[in-house]
Amino acid sequence: MAETFNIVVVAQAGRLEYEACLFAASLRAKSPKFKGKLFIAEPQPSGRWPHDPRIQSPACRDLLHALDAEIVPFENKAFGAYYPYGNKI
């Protein structure tokens, strides 16, 4: 019996929001029987960011919702703009 699992990807303003859309579209197209949930972890504004790091494109946000991805906010406690890749660890 196949085990159900969930997937979490991190997306933030800029290139990563479009990569999240590509990932979600590819997942739905190539794995139509995927039973788990797709979560998009989105960093929230804080003192660690000079600009709002959340997904900026309304079209991207709409596409993620249409592809049944759940956008989940998270608070940056250790990383931010000075080391954005730390959010993906």
**pLDDT tens-digit readout, 4-27:** 999 999 999 999 999 999 999 999
Domain assignment present for residue 62? The answer is yes
State how far the Cα of 43 lies from the Cα of 41, in Å rounded to an integer. 7
Domain assignment present for residue 6? The answer is no
Domain assignment present for residue 81? The answer is yes
**48: closest CA among 82, 12, 72, 88?**
82
Domain assignment present for residue 76? The answer is yes
Domain assignment present for residue 14? The answer is no
Domain assignment present for residue 10? The answer is no
**How many domains does one find in the chain?**
1
Q: Average pLDDT for residues 30-47, to the nearest whole number?
A: 95
Order of all β-strands in the sheet with 7-10: 7-10, 38-43, 69-74
Give per-residue pLDDT as tens, 42-88.
999 999 889 999 999 999 999 999 999 999 999 887 777 776 565 55
Domain assignment present for residue 16? The answer is no
Task: For the full predicted model, state whether its pTM sits above 0.85.
Answer: yes
The three-class DSSP label of residue 9 is strand
Listed in sequence order, the residues at least 6 apart from 44 whose beta carbon sits closer than 8 Å to its beta carbon are: 53, 54, 73, 74, 75, 76
Domain assignment present for residue 18? The answer is no
Which domain covers residue 73, as residue numbers?
Answer: 24-46+55-89
